[in-house]
A = this chain, B = another copy of it.
Amino acid sequence: MIKAGIVGGTGYTGVELLRLLAQHPRVEITAITSRKEAGMPVAEMFPTLRGRVDLAFSTPEAAPLKACDVVFFATPNGVAMQQARELLEAGVRVIDLAADFRIQDVAEWSKWYGMEHACPDLVAEAVYGLPEVNRDRIRGARLIANPGCYPTAVQLGFLPLLEAGVVDTGWLVADCKSGVSGAGRKAETHILYAEVTDSFKAYAVPGHRHWPEIRQGLARMAGQPVGLTFVPHLTPMIRGIHATLYARLTRDVDLQALFEQRYAQEPFVDVLPAKAHPETRSVRASNLCRIAVHRPQGGDTVVVLSVIDNLVKGASGQAVQNMNILFDLPETLGLEALPVSP
């Protein structure tokens, strides 16, 4: 059994990770930390886990993290970079669900995240955990930067187009819609039920932290810098991201075939038939990304629709997928459950 530890398990990615790991046939959760809730049984905070997770939260100091095979950080940005080195030196694999190791340009990272980076050398070593792009590098990695939720949906949607070099990379548009759980489980007024229900809004149009992460990923696929406009929106639903992507075709191509071939071997990317429209609920609680590609009225604009569950493929599920790859387990192990709908 793989001994897994979780640092910071009181948020939504934390409890989702608990749900997935508690059901994983090859994992034993041996430690979960929360300085604030130390001593509280996990199942008291999250009654869904009653009878299945017997652990209590412990302080980071008291938790046997160094004895783990893998430690997941489900913490705010800036925490993993303080603790990763010590764990890595103890031989523990580290998967960070936050943003500390996602952006290779440390100065760019500091600008967007408003702090100095504690270990630029580890940034250089870290592997960006998008298996559909980096599977081979993930296999041998010590430290995984688990991608952000928007970046996962957007990169998987643009990937076949950019790899094939069939769109103008100078003007890409990613219009993205996220469920409210993407904002985390924080006591903040703007995500109260009565604030976001029956309403819809864009936010962070002047600049969002996922913009540099997405740009970095798209540039790697394209082999050159890209121009990207990224607009996130807050949607009155719990889970789900819907990325609507726009690009201008530079040459004629069979888009449906392009997408189907690119993802033919991918266990978690499902290309829908032509003319389809994926719903976010069709991937709810699963690690799937479903994609449809359109060319409205046969014009030169390609529209890609890409949906994921932000807490699964956009966070904790992808982290487990990365763990499976790291430990040479079948990539889908513990992630086979069908989506829940309605």
Chain A residues with a Cβ under 8 A of chain B:
12, 15, 19, 22-23, 46-52, 171, 173, 175, 177, 179-181, 185-189, 191-203, 205-207, 227, 229-231, 233, 235-240, 242, 244, 246, 248, 270, 272, 275, 277-282, 284-286, 290, 292, 294, 296-297, 299, 301, 303, 305, 307, 336-342
Contacts and interface: CB of A to CB of B under 8 A. Distances in A.
B189 A277 contact: no
Contacts of A284: 48, 198-199, 340
B290 A47 contact: yes
Given A171-B301, A285-B340, A201 B296 contact: no
Contacts of A342: 12, 15, 181, 194-195, 197, 238-239
Given A206-B297, A233-B242, A303-B229, A52 B338 contact: yes
Given A19-B340, A231-B303, A275 B206 contact: yes
A298 to B, nearest CB: 9
B240 A237 contact: no
21 contacts: A23-B337, A23-B338, A47-B278, A47-B290, A48-B282, A48-B339, A52-B338, A180-B197, A187-B187, A187-B189, A193-B196, A193-B197, A197-B237, A198-B239, A199-B237, A200-B242, A201-B305, A206-B296, A229-B296, A229-B303, A284-B340
- Across the A-B interface, give the 3 residue pairs with the lowest CB-CB distance, nearest first: A199-B281, A201-B279, A175-B175
